[in-house]
Structure 1
Amino acid sequence: MGRRPPPAPPAQPPRVPSTEQLLNQHRDALKVRFPLPEAEQLRRRGGRRAAKMVLPVLALAVASVLLADPAWQTRDYRTSVADRRQLTLPDGSRLLLDAETHLQVRRHLRSRQVVLLQGRARFNVQHSAWRRFQVDAGPVHVRNYGTVFDVDRQGDLSEVTLWRGEVGVRVDGSDAEQRLKPGQRLLAQAGSLSPPEAAGPDRADWTRGRLQFDRLPLSEVLRILQRYHDRPIVLDDPALGTLLVSGVFDADRAETAVALLPDILPVQLQTAADGSLHLRARD
């Protein structure tokens, strides 16, 4: 019998870079933000003595930068109606933007931050032991612990759904952080976090352009369909918003989905002169 191969060495934990390594990695960015005086300026200020004074001043500035963790690069991304877009960040994290979504990716020295201004996105985050990943959606803040999750922003209210790993959610007005387990979701707004509840697998279908509704209020259904429809969808009677909708629709055919609503609900659909679609109670 052949000899068994030696066991594989145990996996080594990720090494946390030292301050010197961080400085080397971001030296160019620091030079732009904190330029050193020119040689002629140093001579006018006292030659070698002034040059020696620059070093502690620079060290203090660098320490301040690392502590404050300012953004040194910000990029803006938008999607239009019925458009989904995938991004790969420099750290390997992947983002999928739903239609009608606007977000900013901000690169910091010690952290990674995404500001979700509008819409919905899927975050597949590459783990980093020393640069945390956080999503800010108005008053709602989602901290990643190496995971896959969705954030759906609706004004100051956001829905957070976790698919893999772990996230912590906190809101303005409270220091408490609510942890989610895979397959859970919650609603969050300033001063309020709903208890986590189970998230059905249908909530992940939007990434494939498939919209599945299971007894979802009509007002919420129309909000979602509007992302994929280039004409305004108006609910003339807000009381109709509580009607429950169940069904599976194609996001790329949102107009067909709206046209089917009178077949499953006591509503009628009319097109106004400006092209907007109006839902009202059936006569």
Structure 2
Amino acid sequence: MSKHHGVARPAEHTDADTPAGTDAEAARWALRLQRGLDARERAAFEAWLDEDAAHAEALSAMQDTARRLRALSGSRPAAARPARRAWLRRVGLPAAGAAGLAVVAGGGWLAWQGRDDGLGAPWRLATARGEIRPIALPDGSQLVLDTQTQVDVRYGQHGREITVHEGQGWLSVQADPARPLVVHAGGLRIAVVGTQFTVRHTRSGLDAGGVRVAVEAGRVRVRRAQPAWRELVGESGLRDVSLSVGQAYVLDASGRSGVVPAPAPGAIALWREGRLDFEDTPLAQALEEFGRYGVTGAVIKDPAIEAWRVGGSYSLRNLAGFLAALAQQLPLRVEQDATGVFEIRAL
């Protein structure tokens, strides 16, 4: 089967991709409620409650269990605050169940309005296909977004936070020990004070489906995400991994992770200079990477050669130059048909 690169669009990620089960869903919603919901998430939460009365019961049980585990560990709940319980009446919870959840909510576990973490509303930044965009952040930090990248930025008096939903970026972070910057990308949490690094989380191209963090200057701390119930009770068996210059951390699509060598500082994020760097990269993946910047019109006619390895540094705007180099590196030929499509075949 032929593969046409640079045309197909990646599927959107949904909660259906995560493990199923009412308890797992309740844990996720409990954590989201603790962090705060935006209007879209609140609507989804209400729809989830309406699906089945068991959902509200599972949520109540999850919150009660978390409260008890907190108490056993000696931690104290946050100061009580009013909670909106209209949704309890909507789903018809028994009085006992409603009272039990009200105690948890009053203890600060469930906050309909969201917890006050000192950060402002998300500031959405995005780039179109083929666009590379430098951005000056409010604190003097510098952010460069690669093509097809979408991030949320939140700044406040006590912290700074960036969430990478898709794409990759380069960050030069202004040092502020009182307000460390935390970056969330896929299954990783990256904490920094003042440093330069890149983070990548894409659905196609290099490291597709995974996350890669590479340090250009200074140090960063990386931690894998943990199950929602662990975060709810403040328990974690995970440790931070400290990265310095010349090191990268990779979490691949299969869940394997570890520290690997990073390119030299001058060779990190060459896409900022309009170049793509490949080292022992599968041919199909290299073409997908070109496709992130524009329609390539390249078709691999022989599936057997998709895994063949390529290397070198190329202009991301010069696919023809890359294809010409392929014929010198590998036993294949590239031909352009009457419609302008490049067909790649083994010799």
TM-score computed with the length of structure 2 as normaliser = 0.55
- Report the AA paired with residue 175 of structure 1: L
In the TM superposition, what whole-angstrom CA distance separates every residue of 1:199-237 from its partner, at most 9, and x where no partner exists?
A: 244333222112233333323322321222224655455
- 1:35-46 matches, within 5 Å, as none
Q: Which has the higher strand share?
A: 1
- 1:51-70 matches, within 5 Å, as 68-69=116-117
Matched, 1:157 2:210: yes
Which 10-residue stretch deviates more, 179-188 or 196-205?
196-205
Structure 1: which 5+ runs fail to align? 1-55, 59-63
Q: Distance in 1 between matches of 2:297 and 2:150?
A: 19
- 1:65-80 matches, within 5 Å, as 68-69=116-117, 71-80=119-128
In the TM superposition, what whole-angstrom CA distance separates every residue of 1:63-109 from its partner, at most 9, and x where no partner exists?
A: x9997416422222222232211000001110011122221212244
Bigger CA radius of gyration: 1
Q: Distance in 2 between matches of 1:140 and 1:236?
A: 37
Secondary structure at the residue paired with 1:73?
Answer: coil
Q: Distance in 1 between matches of 2:333 and 2:325?
A: 10
- Report the AA paired with residue 184 of structure 1: Q
- Report the AA paired with residue 165 of structure 1: G
Identical columns (%): 28
- Report the AA paired with residue 263 of structure 2: A
TM-score computed with the length of structure 1 as normaliser = 0.67
Specify the alignment match of 2:275 in structure 1: 210
**Offset of residue 247 of structure 1:** 2.3
Matched, 1:131 2:196: no
What is the aligned length? 223
Cα gap change, 1:145 to 1:193, in 2 (>3 Å): farther
Q: Distance in 2 between matches of 1:185 and 1:90?
A: 27
Secondary structure at the residue paired with 1:77?
Answer: strand
- Contact kept in structure 2, 1:229 and 1:255, CA below 8 Å: no
**Offset of residue 275 of structure 1:** 6.8
Matched, 1:89 2:137: yes
Cα gap change, 1:90 to 1:273, in 2 (>3 Å): farther
Which 10-residue stretch deviates more, 181-190 or 266-275?
266-275
**Offset of residue 161 of structure 1:** 0.5
In the TM superposition, what whole-angstrom CA distance separates every residue of 1:1-27 from its partner, at most 9, and x where no partner exists?
A: xxxxxxxxxxxxxxxxxxxxxxxxxxx
Cα gap change, 1:57 to 1:134, in 2 (>3 Å): closer
Matched, 1:178 2:224: no
Secondary structure at the residue paired with 2:239?
Answer: coil
Secondary structure at the residue paired with 1:136?
Answer: strand
Structure 2: which 5+ runs fail to align? 1-79, 83-110, 204-208, 227-236
Higher relative contact order (CA 8 A, sep 6+): 2
